[in-house]
Structure 1
C-alpha cells in the first residue's frame, strides 16, 4: 500500500465516520466512569463521616452500596459499549472496511 492509498483511506468519509463514532463513544463512557470513580474517591477523602454513617439504621454504611454501585456501573457501561458496538458500529465498520479494501486493492502507477 502506498502513501496515496493511505491518504485516500484516511480521507474516506465512512472511515472518518467510523473513527469519530468509536472515539466519541469510548471517551463518553470513559468520562462517565472517571467522574463517578473520582467523585467516590473525593467522598472517601473529604466526607468519611457520611460514608461511615448507617444506611438503614443497622450495620450497613453508605460506603458499601456506593462502592458496589461503582462496580455495577462498570459492568453496565461495558454492556452499553458492547450493545452499541455490535448494533451500530459493526455495520459501519463493515462498510468502511469494504471501502478501505477497495482502495487498498487499487493498482496505482508504479
Structure 2
C-alpha cells in the first residue's frame, strides 16, 4: 500500500473538484450572508424612518423587528443549506478522496 505524496494529492482530479465545489458553495453563501447582514445594517443607517414605522396602528412592533428577525432566520437558512449540502454531497466526496489517497 503506497500513500500519495502531498503533491500527488493536490494534483488529484477528485481532490481538485472537491476543493472547487467547496469554494463555490462557500463563496456563494458568504456573499449572500454579507448582502443580507450589511443590507440590514445599511437600512438601519440610511432609512431609520422606514424601520420605525408601526406595523399596525397602535401596536408597539415596528417594521424593523420582523426585518431583524428575518435577517437572523436568513442566516440560519444559509447555514442549513450548507449543512444539507455537506451531509448529502461533500462528505461522500471527502470519503471518496480519502479512500483514493489511502488506497494509493
Q: Which TM-score applies when normalising by structure 2?
A: 0.89
Q: Give the gaps of 5 or more residues in structure 2.
A: none
In 1, Cα distance between equivalents of 2:25 and 2:67: 25
In 2, Cα distance between equivalents of 1:60 and 1:35: 25
Coordinate RMSD, CA, aligned: 1.3
Corresponding residue SS for 1:49: helix
- Find runs of 4+ consecutive structure 1 residues off by over 2 angstroms: none
Q: Give the gaps of 5 or more residues in structure 1.
A: 104-110
In the alignment, which residue of structure 2 is the partner of 1:43?
43
In 1, Cα distance between equivalents of 2:92 and 2:49: 50
In the alignment, which residue of structure 1 is the partner of 2:95?
94
Q: Indicate whether 1:61 and 2:62 are aligned.
A: yes
CA deviations 1:33-61 (Å, max 9, x no partner) are: 10011011111000000000112232211
Q: CA offset at residue 102 of structure 1? A: 3.0
In the alignment, which residue of structure 2 is the partner of 1:5?
5
In 2, Cα distance between equivalents of 1:38 and 1:83: 25
